[in-house]
Amino acid sequence: MTLPVALFAVVATATAVSALGVVLSQRIVRSAVWLLFTLVGVAVLYFLLGAEFLGAAQLVVYVGGTLVLVVFGIMLTAQGPFDTLTTRPAEWAVGGTLGVALFALLAHAVMGVEAKPAGDGPLPGTGPLGVAFLGDYLLPFEIVSVHLLVVLIGAAYLARAKRRAKP
Amino acid sequence: MSELGPTPFLILAAFLFACGVVCVAAKRNAIGILMGVELVLNAANLNLVTFARFDPRFRLEGQVFALLVVVLAAAEAAVALAIVLNFYNTHTTVDVDDGNELKG
Amino acid sequence: MLDTLTAIPGRLYVVATLLPLAAFALLLLAGTVRALAGPPYRRPGRGGAYLVLAAMAASAALGVTGLVTFLNDPAHLTHEETALSARWSERVDWVRVGRIDPTIPGSPALSTPALALELGYRIDHLTALLFAMITVVGTLIVLFSLGYMAGETEPTVEDHEVDRQAHARRPAALGGGHDTTPPLFEGERPPPHPTHFHRRGRFGRFFLYLALFAFSMLNLVIADNLLQIFVGWELVGVCSFFLIGFNYERPSAARAATKAFLMNRVGDAGFLVAILIAWSAFGTLNVRDIASTFAGGPPPMLSYPLWIVMGVGLFLGCVGKSAQMPLHTWLPDAMEGPTPVSALIHAATMVAAGVYLVGRCYALFAPEVLLGIAYTGAVTLFVAATIALVQTDIKRVLAFSTVSQLGYMMLALGVGGWVAGLLHLLTHAFFKALLFLGAGSVIHGCHHEQDLRRMGGLAAKMRVTAATMLVGVLAIAGTPLLSGWYSKDQVLNAALAFAHDRPEHLALFVLPLVTAGLTAFYMARLWFLAFTGTPRDRHVFDHAAESPPVMTLPLVVLAAFSVGVAWGWPPWDADASYLGKLLHESRPSTVADAGGGNHLLAGGLALLAAASGFGFAALRYWKRETVPSAGPPSGARRFLLHKWYFDELYDRVFVRPAVTVSRLAGAFDKRPTGDAEPARSRVDGGTLDGWLNAVGQGAAAAGRSLRRVQTGRLRGYVLVLALTAVAMLGILTALAG
């Protein structure tokens, strides 16, 4: 067992357990913490796969941005410190069965993927990515930038302070 | 890494995906659902990067699309949180089971 | 303008045809504008009538000019067909159907004719003569109408007939067919309280219809193809409908109009079938083109049965339009229309259109069909004449006389007397128009009294009318040297020649011969009853007065025509009729030259029959106090009064079953309670509506049950979504592995 394999085993296990934690936590704040670990684990996996820039972006955007956003959302909407909304066991059973079935099917499909001869060396880094974004992928890049602007305005509009409707 | 092959990564991505779906389906908290969506997106991203690594045709493209997904996920989270806040403003709760006004 | 007319003088006829249409359009426009703008119930103006009269007079002038030009056309002398048709016929494509492009190589249909519906006209002797007759008679009748319809210029007209019919508890025992028919619909029940029905005068409307009719009839005559003839055919039919139902508030008039329209539809269905057969077989509807393919016997593209069917269909149309047996019952009822209408449409022109069409399409009839035509005509002329013997309504006598005379024409055509039949058409148009206008004058003078039993001795009060009507009576009876004599003599001669060649068809000669006597009898009876003897109804007599000159002038002119229109040199030779000679020019090539038979025998017998009929009538009615049908009729008399029970038969066989079926069909939608809830009548619930309701309720139930699926629960949706994804993935996996 080489070092990468060992590393993968450890990180993958941690990620999977964290993901389970996200699902199974009764309290939303704990779910958020588990999500933090999952996201970090995925970022580490990116590093393992040689996509350093993507790993860094994952850490910065997801862990540093999205997750903080989620936590803010929890803060703004929580009525008590440890607020729970329990799900009925039947629903858990249905959802769980569905999840297991989905996983089984996907795993079965994944087993059919034959290994391609891996490319030599690490994945293209920031330089080629930047050239690609300003070259072949300029249009998606611009669309995404406009999209972000739209989201900025839209989210600000939606979430602005309003007089609370009469219950 | 090459001795590992893509399969373990894909299996892990599948697991994350299943977890995300269950999360969306089972959580009553709107923010929990949002987290489930993040999981699903992460699973997809992991797939993309895995294929970028193990299929020479997608070395660049896999990363490019993974990055785009990261950006869109962030945007989606922002909008979703805005909606959740709105929902909370009108319902004083984040329980999505309460949002059944469109019941047929 | 003048140059084109000299180059193509046939366009005279187009102009003459379009003039009444222009008048019609103008009147319609003016009437619409007035109805929209003006205050209601203004006094109807006379301007429209003068406009129509002017248009008709111009048409008549053009028609006569055209006739003269046509007869003097130098191309006749050399019999140059192409030169003649270049000057006197035109045709343009109207609607192209399945255009065949010869530039496309290998186009499959180069051998078949290009399919186009055409508009066109073609003038020959028959058309020119008929055109002149229609326009001249039409002008005179429009002139007559100016006087006859003068009552319609009042702002309000009281129609006593409406009240009388509405309050008649029991139908009149001896009235027309319309009276013996019980009310079919609930709306015809008399209103509970007597009212005096008033309506607005309809002076302009009458002339509007007349103008439209003139255009339609002229279009029918000059048309060179079956479709255009059909268009005119239907237009005159609808004009007839409008004019019969001119006093549509009277239930009898409304019913008579409907009856005429429906019975004509029966015939028109046959006409349409014939048109379709001609179209599919020949690819053209041009009468001349079709006829030319018959030059050497029946053409190969038409199978013999189809030929028969086409002929029968064509003739069926003519039967309907010309009121032949068994579709003759509408024409007597059509007398509900104003008398000038009866004269123009139901005596002189429209009903002759059927005869005209048979003559025009003569080559298209198989010999068997011609024999059928002959027998139809023979039976019709006899039956109608017998019915006319006992009628007491002055107009109905004339109506049955018209049916009978049309039968003569059909008979003549059927036995090969093409010239005789059409000659009789022309002469009959004049003297029958004269008789009808005379009757109209009597009716007008007697203040709308039509019953012969209440007239008598009117000759003293209405000298011009009496004299001119006597001319008409003599003409129709076949008095030598009057126009009717020439044509009837030829008809009988043709029938005799036919019977001579084929003795088994002797009835075709005997029936018209007998009927010639009957004709003389009933016409003389009419005249004697109306004009001689002592007045039977003092009130009517006292108020009777001669009609104004605007009405008597047409009578005089028509009387002159009735006397001399068929003259030739020498006048005592029936075959020398100039009119007949002209018609002879345009006879179809399949018609054999007139000949055979024994002219002297036929003429002598006819004269004998007419004289005896006339004499018998004189004995019976002249200066006698015989009032027809004073007591209850019995036996043969009742049979004739009921017009051979044709109306009753049709009522039982067609009308009542149709009404019954309609009632049944109506029951489907009837709701017994009349409320808006989906109530169930006997038939309704289970059958038709049941199915429809089941569909609707099924959709509603499906919607109700499906709406439970729309829980509004977000996570449920996600679950279903995931489930679907799993299912699809599973299916894909199963398929792949």
Position B69 scores a pLDDT of 92
Say whether C722 and A112 touch across the interface (CB within 8 A): no
High-pLDDT (> 70) share of chain C, %:
84
Give C107-138 pLDDT, tens digit per residue.
Answer: 454 444 557 788 888 888 888 888 988 999 89
Q: Give the Å distances, CA to CA, from C556 to C58, C440, C470.
A: 21, 14, 11
Residue A35 has pLDDT above 70, yes or no: yes
Give C615-671 pLDDT, tens digit per residue.
Answer: 888 877 776 655 555 556 677 777 777 777 888 888 888 888 888 888 888 776 665
Position C623 scores a pLDDT of 65
Query: Looking at residues C570-592, what average pLDDT do you find?
Result: 73
pTM attached to this predicted model: 0.65
Position A164 scores a pLDDT of 57
- Asked if C20 contacts C56 with a C-beta cutoff of 8 angstroms, the reply is yes
High-pLDDT (> 90) share of chain C, %:
4
End-to-end CA distance of chain A: 62
Give C559-568 pLDDT, tens digit per residue.
Answer: 888 888 877 7
Give C99's pLDDT tier (boundaries 50, 70, 90).
low
**Average pLDDT taken over every residue of chain C:** 80
Position C628 scores a pLDDT of 57
- Asked if C180 contacts C642 with a C-beta cutoff of 8 angstroms, the reply is yes
**Average pLDDT taken over every residue of chain A:** 85
Position C177 scores a pLDDT of 40
Q: Which is more confidently placed, C233 or C93? A: C233
Query: pLDDT tens per residue, chain B (104 residues)?
Result: 567 788 889 999 999 999 999 999 888 888 889 999 999 999 999 999 998 888 888 888 889 999 999 999 999 999 998 888 888 888 888 888 887 787 76
Contact of A62 with chain B, judged by CB distance below 8 Å, is answered with: yes
Give C464-477 pLDDT, tens digit per residue.
Answer: 888 888 888 888 88
Give C232-265 pLDDT, tens digit per residue.
Answer: 999 998 999 998 888 888 888 888 888 888 888 8
Token pair of C493, please?
Answer: 């001669």
State the Cα–Cα distance between residues C163 and C470, nearest whole angstrom.
35
High-pLDDT (> 70) share of chain A, %:
87
Q: Which is more confidently placed, C328 or C689? A: C328
Q: How many CB atoms neighbour CB B35 within 10 A?
A: 28
Position A82 scores a pLDDT of 56
Say whether B6 and A113 touch across the interface (CB within 8 A): yes
B contact residues 40-59, partner A, Cβ 8 Å cutoff: 42, 45-46, 49-50, 52-56, 59
Give A54-67 pLDDT, tens digit per residue.
Answer: 999 999 988 888 89
* C165 burial via Cβ count (<10 Å: 0-12, 13-18, 19+): buried
Q: To probe the interface with C, which of A88, A105, A113 has the most C CB atoms within 10 Å? A: A105
A contact residues 98-117, partner C, Cβ 8 Å cutoff: 98, 101-102, 105-106, 108-109, 112
* A160 burial via Cβ count (<10 Å: 0-12, 13-18, 19+): exposed
Contact of B77 with chain C, judged by CB distance below 8 Å, is answered with: no
What residues have CB less than 8 Å from B84, skipping those under 6 apart? A73, A77, B30, B31, B34, B94
User: Chain C contacts of B28, Cβ < 8 Å?
Assistant: 715
Distance from CA of A102 to the nearest CA of C (A): 6
**Amino acid in the structure at residue C426:** L
Contact of B96 with chain C, judged by CB distance below 8 Å, is answered with: yes
What residues have CB less than 8 Å from B69, skipping those under 6 apart? B41, B44, B45, B48
Position C630 scores a pLDDT of 52
- Asked if C325 contacts C380 with a C-beta cutoff of 8 angstroms, the reply is yes
Residue C182 has pLDDT above 50, yes or no: no
User: Chain C contacts of A108, Cβ < 8 Å?
Assistant: 733, 737
Give C3's pLDDT tier (boundaries 50, 70, 90).
confident
Name the helix (H) or strand (E) containing B41: helix B30-54
Query: Looking at residues C175-203, what average pLDDT do you find?
Result: 54
List the subunits that have 3+ CB pairs under 8 angstroms with B. Answer: A, C
What residues have CB less than 8 Å from C406, skipping those under 6 apart? C322, C323, C324, C351, C352, C354, C355, C377, C380, C381
Q: Which is more confidently placed, C633 or C397? A: C397
Contact of A148 with chain B, judged by CB distance below 8 Å, is answered with: yes
Distance from CA of A7 to the nearest CA of B (A): 10
Torsion sign across C-alpha atoms C313, C318, C324, C329: positive
Query: Looking at residues C687-692, what average pLDDT do you find?
Result: 69
Query: Looking at residues A139-143, what average pLDDT do you find?
Result: 93
Cα C273 to chain centroid, rounded? 19
Q: Which residues pair with C89 in a beta bridge?
A: C122
Residue among B44, B16, B47, B33 at smallest CA distance from A16: B16
Which range has highest mean pLDDT (C144-158, C207-221, C454-468)? C207-221
**Amino acid in the structure at residue C678:** P
SS3 C332: helix
Question: Cα–Cα–Cα angle for C273, C279, C283, nearest 5°?
Answer: 170
Give C183's pLDDT tier (boundaries 50, 70, 90).
very low
